[in-house]
Amino acid sequence: MPDTAFHRDSSSSHHGEDFAPSSVQRVEQAIEYAKHYLPTQGPISIFVHHNTLHAFEHLSFDEAVIEGGRLYHCEPYLAEDRYRLEVSRGRITIDDLRQVLMDDLDDAADELIAGFGTRYTLRLAMLQMTLHQASEAELQWLLAETDLLKRFQPEISLQRREYQVGQTRTWALRNQLVSQTETQSWSDAQWEAFTLRTLWRVCRQGVGTTQYCRNKQNRSLRLRDLLLETTGEDVDTFVNDVMIRFCGGFLDQGLADWTLPHRDEGFAQAFARLYAHPLTVNPNWMQGIRNALAEIPQGKFDPLDSIVRSLAAQGVAADQFDQAIRTSLLTLRGWAGMVWQAETNASSIVRPIRSGSLVEYLAIRLIVENLAIADIGARHFGEREIVRIAERGRQQWQRRARVSIDEQTFTIFQLAQAGGWTPEQLSSMSSAQWTCLAEEIDAFHAIQRRRLLHAAYERHYQTAALDALAIHCSRWRRTRPVKQPLPAFAAVFCIDDREESFRRHLEEVDPECVTSSAAGFFAVAMYYQGADHAHYRPLCPAPVTPRHYVREEPLFSAVDVGQRRAQRRRHLGQVTHQVHAHSRTMLGGWFTGVFGAVATFPMVARIMAPRLTSKIREQVGSLVRPPATELHLEREADEPGSTPESLGYSLDEMADIVVRILQDIGMVKDFPPLVLFFGHGSSSLNNPHESAYNCGACSGGRGGPNARAFAVMANDPRVRKRIETRGITLSEDVRFVGAYHNTCNDHVEYYDLDALPRTHRGLFRRIEQSVDQARARNAHERARRFESAPLDLSPTAALEHVEQRAEDLSQARPEYNHATNALVIVGRRDWTRGLFMDRRAFLTQYDPSVDDENATILNRILQAAIPVCAGISLEYYFSTVDVEGYGCGSKLPHNVASMIGVMTGAASDLRPGLSQQMVEIHEPMRITFVLETTPETINRIIDSNPPIARLVRGGWVHVALIDPETSSILRYVDGRFEPYIPESNDLPEVASSMDWYRGQREHLGFASIQNTSESSAWAT
């Protein structure tokens, strides 16, 4: 069907029954509206961290998490019990609670509530205790079968218990509620039970006098929910089973043995040809599927008309199309989102699909859904007409609109125990006071309490971070040398938080070096094909669409050897694929039964001796991998493209890239003789989410080729002549080396060392030794977070441990990736050099003295840094607060589906979030940006960049500034920057990072490292 079928004007005619053009237009608009709420995660091989609630960025953060939670049925914050635990261990202090509560209430803090104090004191009490909730049935069981009315809650102090019992005893005897004779023999336990029973009775009587009616949240009126409530049968279970299996075949990227017939004709045609075929065996509830799909093979099918008809059959009015269509697409939001991504981002997948597939997906889903509804209606109500089924369902709908008196009583009963409210006090309250109290408690419900508890949780870390920076910056300004020596060498890394510890250890090992950072694609936005890769893949941030193609090729002297090894790779791949495919056939099964036992040896070896097995595989792999290679980096044609003569960049484009990065990191003069650029990535075995561990600035790819390409460009004499005209002079004795850091096993690889002059090889050997020590120390710091790694490991043993983890077939936690990220610092390294930040900070180099008056460089940096780092942080936040809803649950039952994503078990929705093993040590917080600039400059940047403005002004991120001149700190509060006054002047000083973290597994605070000296000739 031509694409024009999905974009028609109001004068278009439609097949079948006539519908007003407005109905079709409403469907089109509703689908466009619903697309914004689908996951934007593409194929799992190109994993891009992003804000899970990207569709809600027009709202404030707190509004968005609540609205998103309602839409996706997910949690907005951590559970209230988790915050209580953090309070008990000091992660949240009473000062944090007081401050966030005062900020939240503002002028309303001092309002009196029902004679029990101010709104502030009442809510503070509610924040410090756990208010349990129970349904009517559960509460009746608690009252009858537990000590609810016999023992105070465990968290109530002994002093408060004795006070309430004593006051109640005096009041009861004075008012002759019990006789003196009767109570003379009562034990303390009996008086305690009497106090609680009296307290419950008084609370219940008081609630009964209120004029306040609290309603529960309205349940969804979707027909599926009505039927589930009234019949116990779930329409989605029937429909999803069909749609999951078909979508898996339709989106398959080469995992299946057979290609889905008629796939290229579109979603609807392929579905109809399969399920309406006379020989297809369908379940009983789908017996009407052939008639329902009859018009599709005939070419008369219009998906938009079909959607209108299906919705009309369900009794959905045109003004409800938005909600109905959004709900239908979100029922399998992982698969629906992947259909949309495969349709629109064809460059990211090998086998794209036709335009209009999502519309056809929705049309087919509604057809199948109506069949399931009709079947359930026929069996339970004797009706097949869907509108009548809906009427019968609504008649039986069991609503509980009003919260029962006992449920409201339970809340006040708990609060009375914690607040020390006696039955005498409560019994003297008027009906108006009870109403006021009930309204106030209801207004400060669980979500609101969790919102403030979370604010206190974030405040505690943010205060510690800003205090540490203020103290550290002050120390640096007092002790910095008047004239700083030229560094021995420079190492430039990605801004990735995992490189923070690597940089810190390298500076400790070799204090004469300097480290810097930039986004890990190093401005080389390209489609890249490795010498042993089958296809090009993007290596640049997700919002960027590359124009340039770069290919890795064997050196000209080794072209023949490279071709022979490429032929071996093809033959080996074909044989492996055939063995895999035919092992599931009748004849191939005999082969598997006879020789399959042989395959157990390498599998067991990968578990019992993963490091040794890896070395053996590397040796065998060298027989098929290409020998020495080079990048096809210089373009011959005028315009870039994928043809051989169009590969690469022009010299002017190379110069633009080199100038941009050198300006971004403030390296424009006084160059050391060697400058290393470290791209990064991660490698692990049996890990479908491997690309999620790679470089976020490279769309889930490995940044080694970008670092290599930048070094080649910067070493080219012709490029250097061009950049000299722009004020940057690179002398002949300055050389650049590209490198790659594997953040999983801490292996480091260097590129094109043959081109390094002999005069620089001695210095390189020194750098190599320093890097080797740094990576062992880095592995040692990382290993402390792994429960399977003993805390007394040596650095050498720790390095072996992380190497084994990366190759262990059974390892679910090869590394923790961005878990624990909490901070982004954009400024000179001077402010943070020697500051232990526990691998929690993204570090972006920026020197204001190199920038112009319009802050062009800072604007360029923040346009990438804020959305990218915020996206990483927010995806970790949402996958942590609800790992099953927003995340993808445990990776242990995951199966790769269609080479495009993962499912839980054999059939589930695609799971686009992060796994439990990736976030289990993460503290979910909005990330804090600390920027070295002035309020005037950052406000100008925010005003000119709507995406940044939404994140900053909507509270999706926190922002603070370091004044470039005074090093004082300002904090962004309610739309303005205010001076930050440190709450502590204490920052521990230790000799080395190892002295601070040794023996610790938990998150650590900040500390100053004493033995790393400042050596930066670029700083001002």
Contacts of 256-261 with CB under 8 Å at 24 or more apart are 256/898, 257/581, 257/584
* Gap between the Cα atoms of 829 and 845, Å rounded: 7
Output the pLDDT for position 219: 46
Q: What residues form DSSP beta bridges with 632?
A: 551
CA angle in degrees (0–180, nearest 5) for 945-951-957 = 130
| Strand 548-554 versus strand 928-932 pairing type | unpaired
Output the pLDDT for position 492: 98
630 with 555: CB under 8 angstroms?
A: yes
Q: Tokens for 175, please give them.
A: 């008012």
Q: What is the pLDDT of residues 39-48, one digit of tens each?
A: 998 898 888 8
Contacts of 725-728 with CB under 8 Å at 24 or more apart are 726/655, 726/659, 727/668, 728/658, 728/659, 728/662, 728/663, 728/668, 728/669
* Gap between the Cα atoms of 361 and 395, Å rounded: 32
What is the CA 317 to chain-centroid distance, rounded? 36
The CA dihedral of 797, 802, 803, 807, to the nearest 10 degrees, is 140
- Residue 627's pLDDT band, with cuts at 50, 70 and 90, is confident
Q: Tokens for 637, please give them.
A: 């044609």
Place of tokens 């069907």: 1
Closest by Cα among 823, 805, 672, 825 to 737:
672
Q: How far is CA 774 from CA 105, 382, 511, 641, 913, in A?
A: 49, 74, 12, 40, 33
- Residue 1019's pLDDT band, with cuts at 50, 70 and 90, is very low
Mean pLDDT score, 698-704 = 94
* Gap between the Cα atoms of 531 and 527, Å rounded: 13
Which DSSP letter does residue 192 get?
H
Closest by Cα among 935, 983, 931 to 960:
931
Computed over every residue of the chain, the mean pLDDT equals 89
Which DSSP letter does residue 486 get?
P
| Amino acid identity, position 241 | D
Number of residues written out for the chain: 1020
* Gap between the Cα atoms of 647 and 641, Å rounded: 6
Q: Is 247 helix (H, G, I), strand (E, B) or coil?
A: helix
Say yes or no to pLDDT of 1 above 50. Answer: no
Mean pLDDT score, 423-430 = 91
986 backbone dihedrals φ, ψ, rounded to 5°:
-105, 120
Say yes or no to pLDDT of 585 above 90. Answer: no
* Gap between the Cα atoms of 1010 and 1014, Å rounded: 11
Output the pLDDT for position 403: 58
462 with 983: CB under 8 angstroms?
A: no
338 with 251: CB under 8 angstroms?
A: yes
For 944-975, b where at least 16 C-beta lie within 10 A, e where not — what string? ebeebebbbebbbbbbbbbebeebebbbbeee
* Gap between the Cα atoms of 897 and 181, Å rounded: 76
Output the pLDDT for position 950: 97
* Gap between the Cα atoms of 905 and 908, Å rounded: 7
- Residue 459's pLDDT band, with cuts at 50, 70 and 90, is very high
Percent of the chain with pLDDT over 70: 88
452 backbone dihedrals φ, ψ, rounded to 5°:
-75, -35
Place of tokens 């419950």: 200
Continuous segment of H or E residues that includes residue 268: helix 267-275
Output the pLDDT for position 212: 59
Q: Tokens for 697, please give them.
A: 């600035």
| Strand 514-518 versus strand 490-494 pairing type | parallel
- Residue 1020's pLDDT band, with cuts at 50, 70 and 90, is very low
Output the pLDDT for position 583: 60
Q: What is the pLDDT of residues 889-931, one digit of tens each?
A: 999 999 999 999 999 999 999 999 999 999 999 999 999 999 9
